[in-house]
Amino acid sequence: MPTYNPPLRDMQFVMHELFKVSDDLKTIPKYSDIDAATINAVLEEAGKFASEVAFPLNVSGDAEGCKLDPVTHEVKTPAGFKAAYQKYVEGGWPALSCDPAFGGQGLPLVINQCFYEMLNSANQAWTMYPGLTHGAYAALHTHGTDEQKATYLHKMTSGEWTGTMCLTEPHCGTDLGLMRTKAEPQPDGTYKITGNKIFISAGEHDMAANIIHLVLARLPDAPPGIKGVSLFIVPKFNVNKDGSLGARNGIYCGGLEHKMGIHGNATAQIVIDGAIGTLVGQPNKGMQGMFVMMNAARLGVGNQSLGLTEVAYQNALAYAKDRIQMRSLSGPKAKDKPADPIIVHPDVRKMLLTAKAYAEGGRALAIYCAVLLDKDHNHPDEKVRKDSGEMLSMLTPIVKAFLTDNGHISTNACMQVFGGHGFIKEWGMEQFVRDNRINMIYEGTNTIQSLDLLGRKILGNNGATLKKFGKLVAALVEEEGVNEKMAEFINPIAFLGDKMTKFTTELGFKGFQNPDEVGAAAVDYLRVAGHLVFGYFWARMAQVALREIAAGNTDPFYQAKLQTARFYFAKLFPETATLMLTARAGSKVLLDTDLALA
């Protein structure tokens, strides 16, 4: 059976030593009294919940799955899920980063980010039930009316009610402009919603008293395409004026998907049969509200793979230290045993270090983005808010796609460490691989994230935001350029930083002549950008470690960080050279292939 230990020490390193998060929070009045001790205390308790309550249900929840009653349309979640959710609610965890005006604790989003990393390591399928509620809460908090906020946000903050996002339809997938769900205005100001949605995570369950569905639909006079989509609140149970639950609404689960992974989460086919809904925001402007939820979900999905990368690494490392097989090529290392632990073999170490480097680099990026989100929402300086939002917008597709691709690489590598035992259920490794696989697909496939990054976020503003990140890289290069001990970390990012502008300009020029060139290069481009971002953070982590070691700190944590940084730059970062070649190869070799694909 797998095990899990919350990576509190590394979280503390990233927040307090690398980014000095408390200093940023002090510039935001509502967070000015949040110090490192407070953050550490909350996360220590959060780690206990993740490891002691959610994690023990991961394997059993995968084996049992969810069960739909075809008569009542009710879904029963795996044994223990409902009780664990009640403990989550009783502990006040849903309210952690929510607005105090609606019963929230008002803590920074960065704390919630770290908590959810641990929950995703512990049990991704279970975590999706409360996790989606945060996105629905954010959409209503931003775009809901005062009446809608008063009706729904208190209950969502407390965890009494959960939320979903209902976008996808069977015929259109990600192309939301093709959706057919209809919303007919009623005399009382409500709308009658009719249609079908698929792939709705946590779309039906027995863990909360009500489920607040945010549904995209079309008004009768809506213009075609994405510009004719509106957003509606469609609760499972209608809500009376006094806040009590009323009659069952006409929205129900018509079936559950049989999936590769996340078996403990109910991925529902939702039938909407004349359900009562209320409009969120302006007519035909539904994507504004839904994008709040979608962007939160994209950051959350990256966090899911970060969590799975961490737990897979922990288990593969423990196994590699314990499993004996063959002798080291350079001579026996465990002379008292008939064979050496497999951790002595170079390629086993390569697989372990790949997962470790991607987990720790991903954690730095995820925490950095959470701080940007806190500043974007709450900083008193309008320029800081604008700059933070702009940087976050560029980094969001990287978080979603780069972290989930890396999660795929890492969980597969960790399963490989186990050899044949990794393919067997009892060790838990194959579940991490299966559960992670969906993360590359939902909330916009990684190809769509890549098109968003290159086409909209980079070329859409002529590389302005990329240049701002490039200035961060350049400042670090300037600061450490003459430090020989930093050369192995600085030189690679300085080289790539110089090449990135020319690389981007070249792709932009080709894309202007033929848009398919952007489509052909985008996936490779995102991965290059991901390594530039990771390289910057790994260089900064190495900088902190070197300074601590130079100051006489003998904690092996810093030497370990330095060794992992060296591995990342030697074995993973050089992938960028190949990716730039393949990105430049163009669209002809892909599109001039009618005979090959006949």
Determine the 3-state secondary structure of 284 from DSSP. coil
- 66-89 in b/e form (b: 16+ CB < 10 A) is bebeeeebebbbbebbeebbeebb
User: What pLDDT shows up at residue 305?
Assistant: 98
pLDDT reported for residue 412 = 98
Domain with CATH 2.40.110.20 in the chain: 162-284
162-284 to CATH, choices 3.10.580.10, 3.40.50.10790, 2.40.110.20, 3.40.50.720:
2.40.110.20
Superfamily for 8-66+78-143? Acyl-CoA dehydrogenase/oxidase, N-terminal domain (1.10.540.10)
* The model's pTM: 0.97
Whether 430 is catalytic is: no
The three-point CA angle 209-144-105 to 5° equals 65
What pLDDT, on a 0 to 100 scale, did the predictor assign at position 456? Answer: 95
Q: What is the mean pLDDT of each run of 10 residues along the chain (598 residues)?
A: 97 98 96 97 98 98 98 97 98 97 97 98 98 94 96 98 94 80 98 97 98 97 93 98 96 98 98 98 90 86 98 98 96 95 98 98 98 96 97 97 98 98 96 98 95 96 96 97 96 97 96 96 98 98 98 98 98 98 97 97
Query: Would you say how long the chain is, in residues?
Result: 598
The total of other beta-carbon atoms located within 10 Å of residue 288's CB is: 15
Please say whether the beta carbons of 492 and 567 come within 8 A.
no
Of 231, 75, 92, give the one whose Cα is nearest residue 160. Answer: 92
Question: What per-residue confidence (pLDDT) applies to 391?
Answer: 97
Given the residues 169, 360, 430, 443, the one annotated as active site: 443
Tally Cβ neighbours within 10 Å of residue 463.
Answer: 17
pLDDT of residue 296: 86
CA distance 170 to 172: 6
In the prediction, which pLDDT does 173 show?
73
- Alpha carbon of 362 to those of 32, 269, 305, 390, 457: distances in Å? 27, 33, 9, 20, 20
- Given this model, what pLDDT does residue 290 score? 79
Cite the residue boundaries of each domain of the chain with CATH code 1.10.540.10: 8-66+78-143
Single out the residue of 140, 131, 122 nearest to residue 57, CA to CA.
Answer: 122
Q: Which residue, among 21, 88, 94, 80, has the nearest Cα to 48 in the 3D structure?
A: 88
